Amino acid sequence: MLHASSRSQGSRFGGWTSLARAGRLTASGALAAALLVLSSGGCGQDGRVREGSGGDAGGGGGGGGSGGSGGAGGSGGGAPKDPMPLRVVNWNVRNYLNDKNDSAAVDEVVRTTAQYVAHRKAIGVVLSAIDADVVVLQEVENEASLSDLVQSELGGKYTSIGIVDGNDPRGIDIAIVSKLPIDDVVSHKDEQFPLNGTVGPTYRFSRDCPEYHLTYNGRKLVLLGVHFKAKEDDNPNKRLAEAQRTRAIANALVKEDPSRAVLVLGDFNDTPGSPPYLAVMGEGDGTYTNAPDFVPTNDRWTYDYQGALELVDHQMSNPLLAGMLDQVSVTIRHGDDVDDATDHAPVVATYGVK
């Protein structure tokens, strides 16, 4: 069964249910989340189904790697592990809404069945071509639409999905699709926070900042999915506060366990050098690495705003994970297939996880 506990101010969801038994968990008022295993269950690298809060797939014991500097030891101790490739993609799929009035969203939009199926198929074409191990999406309506995408368009390759109902009035949420088991999901949608150095006003995340906890090749990874305040009806202070809070969450995760690899990825709704970008990037020894920096300049954009090609979707790794990034692998996919699905381009990168 799904269950909730608390860490700091976040709401945690551990474990998952089979698709046949899938239900929604409500905690802390209206917070709902779903973790599911598709097909016959999510299998770890040894083929066994893992439930509950997951754990280290590499086994116990040992102090592992050297923390933030990115040592070779991993989290399982013993001899250094050989790196295993993990392909990660983040993508804003623009209003991926289904053909049912099936959410509590204040401003829910219901597509026709033809519109819904066409959009779902277009997303599936791109994701099938990329064939990532872990996909973090923005603007997904709900569990039903996410399940439809995985079952109907992605050929059963993805055994785990996760989505948390966030704060957006249209009901567009951040979601994960993974070939790996999901150990845990922690939501921060109910948190309130001011700009750093101020006492107010306070803000909430425009959608959420879910933590997705995974284990791969003995390494604990946490992906922070983001979708900051849009510039329409702009509130730059809110967007900056969201970015500052995101980096604070990332810092707390590494402080709690220096062997964690942390990745902040999604739609920042802002460009390199902007205050929100710099707030997540950090400085000094704690500076994160943005994967799109390794894409050729002409292709280094994810959004066409009235003819201006902007990089607003980012994939930032902490120093430990940055040392595992295969810089040559990083791409931003452009083409008619992407244009058929959405107005954002997906960011793709491979990490040699050890």
Q: Is the pLDDT of residue 61 over 60?
A: no
* pLDDT tens-digit series, residues 149-182: 999 999 989 999 999 999 999 999 999 999 999 9
Q: Average pLDDT of the chain?
A: 84
pLDDT tens digits for range 37-50? 443 333 333 322 22
Measuring CA to CA, which residue among 43, 58, 15, 33 is closest to residue 159? 43
Q: pLDDT per residue over 10-25, tens digit each?
A: 665 543 332 322 322 3
Q: What tens digit of pLDDT does each residue of 250-290 get?
A: 999 999 999 999 999 999 999 999 999 999 999 999 999 99
pLDDT at 258: 98
Question: Is residue 35's pLDDT more than 90?
Answer: no
Question: Residue 112 pLDDT more than 50?
Answer: yes
27 pLDDT above the threshold of 60: no
- Among 255, 179, 248, smallest CA distance to 209 is for 248
Higher confidence at residue 111 or residue 267? 267
Tokens of 71: 């040592």
Q: In the prediction, which pLDDT does 80 show? A: 76
Nearest to 146 by CA among 128, 164, 169: 164
Residue 68: the pLDDT is 39
pLDDT of the residue at 81? 85
Q: Which residue has the higher pLDDT, 125 or 109?
A: 125
Query: What are the structural domain ranges in the chain?
Result: 12-52+80-348
Contact 133, 352 (CB under 8 A): no
Q: For 79-93, 204-218, 290-304, which range has the lowest pLDDT when averaged over its residues?
A: 79-93
The model carries a pTM of 0.82
Percent of the chain with pLDDT over 90: 72
126-149 pLDDT tens trace: 999 999 999 999 999 999 999 999
The pLDDT value given to residue 106? 65
Strands 219-227 and 193-194: unpaired
Helix (H) or strand (E) holding 239: helix 236-256
> What percentage of the chain has pLDDT greater than the value 70?
77
Contact criterion met (CB below 8 Å) for 174 and 137: yes
Q: Residue 293 pLDDT more than 60? A: yes
We find that the CATH architecture of domain 12-52+80-348 is 4-Layer Sandwich (3.60)
220 vs 6, higher pLDDT:
220
pLDDT at 100: 86
DSSP result, 289-353: EEGGGGS-GGG--SEEETTEEE--EEEEE-HHHHTTEEEEEEEE--SHHHHHH-SBPPEEEEEEE
Q: Is the Cα torsion angle 14, 148, 221, 245 positive or negative in sign? A: negative
